[in-house]
Structure 1
Amino acid sequence: MKKIVQIKNLKKVFCKGNICVANDINLFINEGEIFTILGKSGSGKTTFLRMIAGLEIPDSGEIIIDDKEVFSKNNNLQPKDRGVAVVFQNYALLPHLSIASNITFGSKASKADLEDVLEKTKLKGQENKFPHELSGGQQQRVALARAIITKPKILLLDEPLSNIDTELRAHLRVELKEMIKSFGITALFITHDKEDAFYLSDRIAIMNGGDILQVGTAKNIYHNPVDLYCANFLGKITEISQNNYVRPEHIFITPNGRFNAIIKSIVFYGSFYEIILKTEKTELLIHSFDDNLEIGQNVKYDFSGEILNF
């Protein structure tokens, strides 16, 4: 599989406060995949995207896009020459231009290119409207269409779902993935939201303090976190003994369990109950689907074998 983006020993330190936002980063992005940088605010993920786009200059390292060196010690190509397109958090649509003009703005796209992208982004029939006449989902599609019509080597998405309410966000997440995959385009997605990352990504990189801590599929990094930070960031965990942890779904209440506990609290979350079990030495957080449990009840519990060791 071809590597569309290769990052080698990339480093960036902001002088103000001596903050490292990229600490000797090495990674690659395969052709046709959606690759996500997942991290908290201030982790360095947006600066990383901006360095690939050419909007921020690294201190050292190399950025290679489609076998072309776009940044190195002796080279720094302008954003327009890198073969990248960016979809920003606020979409940056031009309110005085029609949808068709917004999509083709700054590009040399033909009428046929416009027709094709309107069809694939489900904007056919909306081309003569203005941004304020469209829904949030349609505005997102316009921003995506404007980026894709330039036929970039890689599409960069800077938290495009972060300012959208929960119900619409779930819908747009589905649309976004379908559209990216329908174009067969390579995409780098930046987000702080675990659910967005898990749904959209072929692979995920967890970033913190300018470091890439772990790279893998959603399933791999969730079940096999490399350290306690990654384990906590991806989901809830409970310490069962020194340096041994378990996720709530891997503790279960059963009459044949090896261990005794008392139910301390029960919180209903719609699709499951979040329960705290009080044992002789600790408290355990578990997820259950049992409607018949009560606070103060004596129960037996066991583990499914998914123990995390750090």
Structure 2
Amino acid sequence: MSLLHVKQLEKTFCDGSVCVAKSINLEVSEGEIFTLMGKSGCGKSSLLRMICGFETPCSGEIILGGKTLFGKGVNLETKERELAIVFQNYALFPHMSVAQNILFGYEKEGKTRLGALLEKTGISAIKERFPHEISGGQQQRVALCRALIRHPKLLLLDEPFSSVDSELRASLRDELKQMIKAFGITSIFVTHDREDAFHMSDRVALMAQGEILQVGEIETLYKHPKSKLCAQFLGKINVYEEDGKEKMFRPADIHVNPKGALSGEVKECVFHGFYYVVLVQTQAGEMTLFTKEPHPLAAPIAFDVLSG
């Protein structure tokens, strides 16, 4: 069942030359983690801010749980929208304890929920500590508790891993997903990182220049992209022409074969642990292959495409 409906949403900044939302339509189902993915400047964060009420669309509708947040004659304030947002840097107050941060602005109503939230997220023991005294993972839990203390219908996450290194990012990502699923809260997650999208998402919307290009489960988008641009969002893609038609395939979709239909010269071979990334110069252009064995530079190589 859909919880959030966005209908024909439009947003143009400045003199009309910068459009960050072009007739956007999407639905987010109850309990799912829905990801908005795209490069910087594609409009994904602006869309999140319009849903949250931080920015006002030019036209369209935003409906949450049957309640119109934005539409004809309606533009509810953020505090009236029954949603919460977790920012990139968690935005914790350094002079406040964990408990004070969670309850900030909601002290009276939130006290009855505080204990249960602290216990469920495993941070009861640190409730009197300050942000600089706790780890990145604990800070993330505090930020999540502060969002959930208001019992929102929808949780918005604006690139919450953008300021951490790759090792910490992986652990925070897994932990956050587990907590969101444990609470059963519907979430919209914004990222430009495909690893985040692979690990976090139930469904993904690929965005570019204010438009949603394709929506679906991550595996479907990876295996069946609608366009070259959609394919490139989720990993390396090779393109060549066959019988006048453009063909696309992933590096993993090849099989090295001395009698293969495609061939070229090895330009680069890089070790990546359990596989090698091989760059091949073919008549159709440069192509990237994944192989189990190394291949010497300038050596000929032939291969077949297994799918694509």
Question: 2: distance between equivalents of 1:62 and 1:300?
Answer: 53
Give the 3-state SS of the residue equivalent to 1:189 in structure 2.
strand
Shift of 1:299: 3.4
Worse-matched range after superposition: 67-76 or 104-113: 104-113
Which residue identity lines up with residue 174 of structure 2 in the other structure? V
1:287 aligns with 2:290: yes
State the match for 1:67 in structure 2: 66
**Residue pairs, 1:249-288, within 5 angstroms:** 249-255=252-258, 257-288=260-291
Aligned to 1:78: 77
* Residue of structure 2 in register with 1:87 after alignment: 86
State the partner residue of 1:300.
Answer: 302
Which stretch has the larger CA shift, 152-161 or 9-18?
9-18
- Structure 1 distance, partners of 2:277, 2:92, is 43
Partner of 2:202: 202
CA contact (8 A) 2:238 2:288 kept: yes
Q: 1:298 to 1:140 in 2, by over 3 A?
A: same
SS of 1:243 mapped into structure 2: strand
Paired residue for 2:212? 212
Per the TM alignment, residue 109 of structure 1 is displaced from its structure 2 partner at its CA by 3.9
CA–CA distance in structure 1, aligned partners of residues 177 and 27 of structure 2: 20
In the alignment, the residues of structure 2 paired with residue 200 and residue 92 of structure 1 have an alpha-carbon distance, to the nearest angstrom, of 22
Q: Give the superposition deviation at 1:305.
A: 2.0
- Listed one character per residue, the Cα deviations across residues 40-83 of structure 1 (whole Å, up to 9, x for unaligned) are 11111111011111111111100000110111021111111110
Tell me, what secondary structure is at the counterpart of 1:10? strand
Task: Name 2:32's counterpart in structure 1.
Answer: 33
1:285 Cα shift? 1.2
Determine what percentage of the aligned residue pairs are the same residue.
Answer: 49
User: Aligned with 2:126: secondary structure?
Assistant: coil
Task: Give 2:271's aligned amino acid.
Answer: F
Instruction: Tell me whether 1:248 sits opposite 2:247 in the alignment.
Output: no
TM-score (norm 2): 0.94
- The number of aligned residues is 304
Residue number in structure 1 paired with 2:128:
128
- Matched-pair contact (CA < 8 Å) for 2:110–2:149: no
The whole-number CA distance in structure 2 between the counterparts of 1:216 and 1:249 is 21
Give the aligned partner of residue 192 of structure 1: 192
1:133-179 deviation line (CA, Å, top 9, x unaligned): 11111111111110011110000001110111111000100001001
Q: Counterpart amino acid of 1:106?
A: G
Give the C-alpha shift of residue 85 in structure 1. 0.3
In the superposition, relative to structure 1, how do residues 280 and 155 fare at CA in structure 2: closer, same or farther (>3 Å)? Answer: closer
Please list every run of at least 4 consecutive aligned residues from structure 1 whose deviation after the TM superposition is greater than 4 angstroms: none
Distance 1:83 1:32 in 2: 15
- The 1-side partners of 2:76 and 2:112 are apart by 29
Whole-angstrom CA distance in 2 between matches of 1:142 and 1:129: 11
Report the residue type matching 2:91 in the other structure.
A
For 2:8, the equivalent position in structure 1 comes to: 9
- Tell me, in whole angstroms, the C-alpha distance in 1 between the residues paired with 2:64 and 2:26: 12
TM-superposed CA distance for 1:264, in Å, is: 2.7
Unaligned 5+ segments in structure 1 are none
Does the CA-based 8 Å contact 2:110-2:150 persist in structure 1? no
Whether the aligned pair in 1 keeps the contact of 2:102 and 2:149 (CA below 8 Å) is yes
Query: How far does the alpha carbon of each residue in 1:177-231 deviate from its partner, in whole angstroms, 9 at most, with x for none?
Result: 0010000000000111111011100000011111011000110111111112111
Q: How far does residue 276 in structure 1 lie from its aligned partner after superposition?
A: 1.9
CA distance in 1, matches of 2:304, 2:214: 30
Taking a change above 3 Å as real, the CA distance of residues 278 and 138 of structure 1, as seen in their structure-2 partners, is: same
**Could you report, residue by residue, the CA deviation over 1:101-129 in whole angstroms, capped at 9, with x for unpaired residues?**
11111224444411111112221200000
1:300 maps to amino acid:
A
Deviates more, 1:116-125 or 1:265-274: 265-274
With the length of structure 1 as denominator, give the TM-score of the two structures: 0.93
The alpha carbon displacement at 1:274 in A equals 0.8
* Cα deviation, residue 16, structure 1: 4.3
Which ranges of structure 2 fall in alignment gaps of 5 or more residues? none
Q: Structure 2 vs 1, CA of residues 257 and 82 (structure 1 numbering), >3 Å: closer, same or farther?
A: same
